[in-house]
Structure 1
Amino acid sequence: MTQGITGATGQFHTKACKEYGTRMVAGVTPGKGGTSFEDIPVFDSVEKRCGRPRPTPASSTCRRPLPPTPSWNRRTRACLWSSAITEGVPVQDMMRVKRYLKERGTVLVGPNCPGVITPGECKIGIMPGHIHKRGTIGVISRSGTLTYEAVDQLTRLGMGQSTCVGIGGDPIRGLNFVDVLDRFNDDDETEAVVLIGEIGGSAEQDAADWIRAHMKKPVVGFIVGQTAPPGKRMGHAGAIISGGKGTAAEKVEALRGAGVHMAPSPADIGQTMKEALG
């Protein structure tokens, strides 16, 4: 399913996902129930499509904040069923969404992320499908744009991808680095992993600890925001250095200490992976 299907952004990405081969079963846009787009039926709400609330593989493509309301707003409700591209969700709402899904055994990717793609099979999100190539390199990234950059470099160097996951740059998110690393570590089709982090928080340090203890495959890393001044937010809500913690230097040191091959610049991610694989 996709949310915001009748808007320009929703239409563009819904069509792209469908053309890629993803099965789009329905769209949701409040007030547009009963219409259709690209032969995909549109409903006023997820509940009306499903008959009762339940998790449904989906993509939420609303991009602008909605006015605050006493109850959960449309975008927050959409996240309950979504790989959430949605940005601007209030932190308290996202905490409720994450808890709700965890209690029901549902996986949340995002929010504020490009989604997830297994090249040649399925894409749920806004990533450009044509730059991806089926292969053995897993990609995890907090930065949507650098996900595309890393994938394009890998593809041009003849290294396809097993699955690419954008975990998003918000403070409260679903899957984190460790969650995805664990999956890639056990995946027979993944030979190595690209990990793209950024300043703020401790997710990269947590990933470094996990890699040191458990990772059986080569990991190439890059940290965004290496020139960011302390106390400044750099793009994402979670990309802020606070109290002197979460700096790029700390993250690079932690990952390098765990045996991660650190790319010197974003332009060198693909080449660093090529060297790591020998």
Structure 2
Amino acid sequence: MSIWVNKSTKLIVQGITGNTAAYHTKLMLEYGTNIVGGVTPGKGNTEVEGIPVFNTVQEAVDNTGGNVSIIYVPAKFAADAILEGVDAGLDMIICITEHIPIRDMLIVKRYMEGKKTRLIGPNCPGIITPEECKIGIMPGYIHKKGRIGIVSRSGTLTYEAVHQLSQKGIGQSTAVGIGGDPVNGTDFIDVLKAFNEDEDTDAVIMIGEIGGNAEEKAALWIKENMRKPVVGFISGKTAPTGKRMGHAGAIISSGKGTAEEKIKTMKDSGIYMSDTPTNIANTLIEALKDNQLWRSAYED
């Protein structure tokens, strides 16, 4: 009942000895995430929360069999940390770091072409399969195991949607925060494809925001390919043109990337659109019932 991560995932924490990383390492361990090692150059042969620390990602992989990493490394070193994980052959890297220069991410993006590693982020909350594996900074307690997939550019709105669902007894298969930067690794379509192929996901909530055209591209893909109902929400309706709002990618330029433009394309593609962030769960219930996917389990 998940995509990409589960209880068997072996996690490596890059930058584990930093205050933020150590704090979230503790929380991830408490949630039940299988953390097998950490990496901080020059801090090898030490421990954090009982987790062995290595000098390089390759050393961590060789000694622990780790296959996924999470990066809590300062922005000026984060691109190199991603590349080190790619070179070590990791299946997936989740990069929490924000404010990575766009130029650095363009280099990373090009380097990763043809490589097996999937990058989620940067500037994202991470990925969670409820009650199995939490990789990131999201509050674990609001999540409930279930059959609804979530993909979002906004961390805060991911939590809002999850909390609404859980309060109504509706669990999640996996929630993925792809981040709000203009250059990132995994996009909406990547996640939608995975949910579309997952037998244990009934429907998907897709949360976007102003700026760029990722939502429009995803909507057109949904129209042509998605076999499951999708609920959408776009934040930033009141944002002024040309002014960056929060995320580096949330900026309207030359009339493109507006909320109105995105909402129209998504509605035209058959996506159930929530008019407010507080109505996401109710819109999801409507979509499930329209598609005869409502299950008694949702009412537990």
TM range (shorter): over 0.9
Q: Which amino acid aligns with 2:137?
A: I
Q: Does 1:268 align with 2:279?
A: yes
Query: 1:200 maps to which residue?
Result: 211
Q: Could you list the per-position Cα deviations for residues 83-118 of structure 1 after superposition, in whole angstroms to 9, with x for gaps in the alignment?
A: 111111111211222232332211111111111111
**Deviation by residue 1:226-273 (Cα, 9 ceiling, x = unmatched):** 100000101011111111100000000000111111111111111111
RMSD (Å) for aligned C-alpha atoms = 1.7
Q: Within 5 Å, which residues of 2 pair with 1:208-227?
A: 208-227=219-238
Structure 1 residue aligned with 2:78: 75
Q: Once the two structures are aligned, what percentage of the paired residues are identical?
A: 57
Report the equivalent of 1:133. 144
Report the secondary structure of 1:103's partner residue: coil
Alpha-carbon distance in structure 1 between the residues aligned to 2:107 and 2:36: 26
Asked if residue 25 in structure 1 is aligned to residue 28 in structure 2, the reply is no
Which secondary structure does the structure 2 equivalent of 1:277 belong to? helix
**What is the CA deviation profile of residues 13-71 of structure 1, one whole-angstrom value per residue up to 9, with x for unaligned ones?**
1111122222111112233222101110112332443469x994011123x533xxxxx
Work out the CA distance in 1 between the residues paired with 2:283 and 2:208. Answer: 16
Q: Which runs of 4+ in 1 moved over 3 A?
A: none
Local SS of the residue matching 2:174:
strand
Q: Report the equivalent of 2:116.
A: 105
What SS does the corresponding residue of 2:120 show, helix, strand or coil?
Answer: coil
Partner residue, 2:53? 42
* TM-score normalised over the length of structure 2: 0.86
Gaps of 5+ in 2: 1-11, 86-92, 290-300
Secondary structure of 1:164's counterpart equals strand
Summarize the alignment of residues 79-94 of structure 1 with structure 2, pairs less than 5 Å apart: 79-80=82-83, 81=85, 82-94=93-105
Measured in 2, the distance between the counterparts of 1:102 and 1:124 equals: 24
Contact 2:37 2:66 in 1 (8 A): no
Deviation per residue, 1:117-175 (Å, 9 max, x gap)? 11111121111111111101000000011111100001001110001100100111111
Distance 1:51 1:275 in 2: 49
Matched residue type, 1:271: N
Q: Specify every segment of 5 or more residues in structure 1 that has no aligned partner in the other structure, as ranges.
A: 67-73
In 2, distance between residues paired with 1:234 and 1:252?
18
CA displacement 1:160-219 (0-9 Å, x = unmatched): 000110010011111111111111111100000000000000000001101111111111
User: Partners of 1:33 and 1:172 in 2: how far apart?
Assistant: 32
CA distance in 2, matches of 1:225, 1:190: 28
The answer to whether the aligner puts 1:143 opposite 2:154 as a matched pair is yes
